[in-house]
Amino acid sequence: MIVLRDPFWVVPPYEDWVVEVRKYRGVGRIGILFKTCDPFLPAVQQALRYMSGVKLYTMIDGDNTVLTIVTRTLNETVRDQLWALIVRRVRSAIDD
């Protein structure tokens, strides 16, 4: 498998996938595939580290690393706010 970075790709707005997140009642999970040497990987990890309700899992497989973001919240309102914050932090990390 060869993964190429699309220079026009952006993190999609939270509103585009909130319906899918809401199906799972407080638990959300997204995996992001990076090349292990990608300079954005540590920036994204740092941006999301120590966030309340967020756990990060990193799986390295050769040249690729999958960063999995898992959230758990008490209700839909808090979940929406948390995922919106995650999106803002990821965008900020890759835009710097």
Q: What would the pLDDT profile of 57-89 be if each residue is shown by its tens digit?
A: 999 988 999 999 988 888 878 888 898 899 899
Instruction: Write down the mean pLDDT value for the chain.
Output: 83
The pLDDT-based confidence of 1 (bands split at 50, 70, 90) is: very low
53 vs 25, more confident: 53
Question: Do 57 and 65 contact (CB within 8 A), yes or no?
Answer: no
pLDDT tens for 25-38 read 656 778 888 889 99
Domain boundaries, the chain: 20-95
Angle made by CA atoms 83, 46, 11, in degrees to the nearest 5: 45
Which of 58-71 are b and which e, b meaning 16 or more Cβ less than 10 Å from the residue's Cβ? Answer: eeeeeeebebebeb
**Cα–Cα distances in angstroms (integers) from residue 55 to residues 2, 28, 92, in the given order:** 28, 10, 19
The CATH number of domain 20-95 is 3.30.499.10: no
Q: Which two tokens stand for residue 95?
A: 């835009």
pTM of the predicted protein model: 0.69
